[in-house]
Structure 1
């Protein structure tokens, strides 16, 4: 028995030890109507090969970005991941390593986490980064909680262009701590206006959360928002869902951000149906003791050799509960390693070239789409993602494109289901993986559908 190793005698011995006659006795407190009266109606067990064949047939029904032209984005982006990344993360010493609790035992793991932190700090323009978070959404939620602790205020302004999923996760976390969230409606029909955020900042504001590029692909000037927030004693949380953009755009730390959160999936991590991903979190030295998660530091041992330790670990398991700044239980260690390897392979110049290629491809496709009758480009600025307004409902257009073997984009109503006024709007993402043939296929298909 591969997965059920206990024999009948084993079960009898365990029941005897706890004073029960049968397994059913263990459920005596469960109401009869809640118990299954017969086995679940599932197919009988079959062999491993039959299961693989069945699952492969089911998977073949999917239209995968790996086999079809894909222009999906909205927080999860298809980039080319070098084979070296997968090879290295699957080495036994990495794949089986657990997040270190006794740092001196896990020097290799701590070393790559230290390098990961260094890369994140350099990318974001901040002074210190932690050893990763679960994903960009939870990192953003933790940033709002951190700002509330640091400022002892209970109000956060979330700019309208913040990704809808990030807002929902933040709302869930803030609710239990009575943090008020102010979130103006999103409007992709107009250029981003910093004044709409600045006007909401008051003396009780703990932080202002601004995403750039935002949910609609628009690039936001963080500087006037940061100046206004700091004048009121509030912190600035800068968010990005596309970390490759920082190979071309100014680092948020240079624009006045106090905390930077991001999704790191674009480097080293395949789409994978939405996870697991890796959250990035960076801040200033002044705020480091309020930062959630853990920090790996560099030191020397008694023999003068370079080594690594957990410098800060601010969760309940390690320090008194009332001093804890987070209940984050671990980090996304293996995904952080993939990020680190991919970033190291690219280097600073390689990341910059990758970012420029993404932007150039996006500009090319934006121009082609804008020339189609029934398509209107909504962005005056973007990196590798932009919003278009169609002459027909976007969800219908996306389904029609899928029937032609093209993953055309993300209807905004999938992110904002209550916004019927956005039913004709579609988010389009372009990366280095999109060829000229991919773009031509999308253009021709849209011309046919919208004609």
Structure 2
């Protein structure tokens, strides 16, 4: 029996107040082709619990897990080794069941963890202040764009062509409601990003420039000239980082002049997990921008007895006192994933992170050198961390599918990321981490030779 707490009169009164002619009008933004006009085809109306379990087990057997294959997928989500300690600690009851720490006197553990998390992110990004996490990297990217608009009072957003297309699409989706002008582009298929071309797109109406580092093709570059060009036009530079382990080896975005640094924290402490839940990171270089940040911040203080304590210092969210004047409608954070991130990074320490980054880079260089010897394969990048792009003599999507049948997950095809763009169809983004063995690299190269022969 359906739960219908409202009468027709109740619903009619509510529709009159909001000015909608019908309930269907509330879904006007959903394309017609996506509306259901009945039950989902092929989905039974009901089944027993045992039948559902049996069916789901059969479906799960069709999956090819990352641990069961030579795995080279990346493009925003990376397979790293997560110490067993991380999972053990995050499942402690006081962490696993905790929600928002509204009452600091009984939430000191959660608040201290978030404070430590913020400190780690700020140092990693080369920034002054970080918040207590966001939903994921793509929504953090949009929140940075919205923040830049509040700071600069401008509406034009310049997106690098080498920004992850899912991040760019999130920005475009949200901008429909803010009337921001989004100036996008496609990535240039060359060894280094076209920074001069990107700089030429900045004008006096630009609120921000959004660039990924390392970018979607894995290229590493100096963004200092870009920061200087943006600042000369009164715009902010937003740097997106999807692989935080890279910052154990390369200069941080904040050090190169990025005003807002955002990204995905999944690499540290959080497994691939079929795409989520993940962890958004957000930091600013200049403390004067702190009140324009979304989400919330935890701060350190002292109690009435002079003992150290932690509190929510800033919560500019819509459910709090600012209401419609809030900087964002995000009303929670990825607290458990933030805890996993913090535990993993704490276990590593600075020395451990640098060693982990060095091993990632070593194996990636080995893989790039080996792939370059495969007939027809060209390594695109002039510089990279643990991810790079190769150009194949055939459509990379078909090559990826063929290799998957041999239990080799060769990477992410640019044709999948940028569908319909013929110039990118032969590109393949290959990611190598410390979980990749030298045997896996040999397996990839051997299988690729056979498929391309």
Map residues 378-397 of structure 1 onto 2, 5 A cutoff: 378-397=380-399
Name the structure 1 match of 2:118.
117
Aligned partners of 2:37, 2:359: CA distance in 1, in Å?
58
Name the structure 1 match of 2:414.
412
* Alignment deviations for residues 176-206 of structure 1 (CA, whole Å, 9 cap, x no partner): 1111111222122352121111111111111
Name the structure 1 match of 2:14.
none
TM-score by length of 2: 0.90
Name the structure 1 match of 2:195.
194
Name the structure 2 match of 1:106.
107
Greater shift after overlay, 390-399 or 335-344? 390-399
Name the structure 2 match of 1:206.
207
User: Cα–Cα, structure 1 residues 306 and 43, in superposed 2: closer, same or farther, change >3 Å?
Assistant: same
Name the structure 2 match of 1:225.
226
Aligned partners of 2:319, 2:378: CA distance in 1, in Å?
53
Task: Specify the SS of the correspondent of 1:295.
Answer: strand
Residue ranges of structure 1 left out of the alignment (5+ in a row): 5-10, 21-28
Name the structure 2 match of 1:41.
44
User: Cα–Cα, structure 1 residues 304 and 363, in superposed 2: closer, same or farther, change >3 Å?
Assistant: same
Is the 1:379–1:387 Cα contact (8 Å) retained in structure 2?
Answer: yes
* Alignment deviations for residues 293-339 of structure 1 (CA, whole Å, 9 cap, x no partner): 00000001101111111100001111233431111110000000000
Greater shift after overlay, 416-425 or 341-350? 416-425
Task: Specify the SS of the correspondent of 2:391.
Answer: strand
Is the 2:140–2:263 Cα contact (8 Å) retained in structure 1?
Answer: yes
Map residues 57-68 of structure 1 onto 2, 5 A cutoff: 57-68=58-69
Map residues 304-383 of structure 1 onto 2, 5 A cutoff: 304-383=306-385
User: Cα–Cα, structure 1 residues 275 and 18, in superposed 2: closer, same or farther, change >3 Å?
Assistant: closer
Displacement of 1:399: 1.0
Name the structure 2 match of 1:449.
451
Aligned partners of 2:236, 2:346: CA distance in 1, in Å?
31
Name the structure 2 match of 1:8.
none
User: Cα–Cα, structure 1 residues 61 and 199, in superposed 2: closer, same or farther, change >3 Å?
Assistant: same
* Alignment deviations for residues 220-264 of structure 1 (CA, whole Å, 9 cap, x no partner): 211000011111111111111101000001011110011000100
Aligned partners of 1:54, 1:41: CA distance in 2, in Å?
12
User: Cα–Cα, structure 1 residues 380 and 103, in superposed 2: closer, same or farther, change >3 Å?
Assistant: same
Is it true that 1:76 corresponds to 2:96 in the alignment?
no
Greater shift after overlay, 318-327 or 64-73? 318-327
Residue ranges of structure 2 left out of the alignment (5+ in a row): 9-21, 25-35
Task: Specify the SS of the correspondent of 2:66.
Answer: coil
Name the structure 1 match of 2:304.
302
User: Cα–Cα, structure 1 residues 19 and 441, in superposed 2: closer, same or farther, change >3 Å?
Assistant: closer
Aligned partners of 1:245, 1:147: CA distance in 2, in Å?
25
* Alignment deviations for residues 353-383 of structure 1 (CA, whole Å, 9 cap, x no partner): 0011101100000000001101111111111
Name the structure 2 match of 1:23.
none
Task: Specify the SS of the correspondent of 2:67.
Answer: coil
User: Cα–Cα, structure 1 residues 30 and 187, in superposed 2: closer, same or farther, change >3 Å?
Assistant: closer
Task: Specify the SS of the correspondent of 1:265.
Answer: coil
Displacement of 1:52: 3.8
Name the structure 2 match of 1:88.
89
Greater shift after overlay, 200-209 or 144-153? 200-209
Task: Specify the SS of the correspondent of 1:66.
Answer: helix
User: Cα–Cα, structure 1 residues 415 and 208, in superposed 2: closer, same or farther, change >3 Å?
Assistant: same
Is the 1:73–1:427 Cα contact (8 Å) retained in structure 2?
Answer: yes
TM-score by length of 1: 0.90
Aligned partners of 1:254, 1:83: CA distance in 2, in Å?
33
* Alignment deviations for residues 49-69 of structure 1 (CA, whole Å, 9 cap, x no partner): x64444223211111101111
Is the 1:211–1:220 Cα contact (8 Å) retained in structure 2?
Answer: no
Aligned partners of 1:42, 1:409: CA distance in 2, in Å?
38
Displacement of 1:43: 5.8
Q: Hey, which bits of structure 1, 4+ residues long, moved more than 3 A?
A: 17-20, 33-36, 39-44, 50-54
Task: Specify the SS of the correspondent of 1:442.
Answer: helix
Is the 2:202–2:233 Cα contact (8 Å) retained in structure 1?
Answer: yes
Displacement of 1:105: 2.6
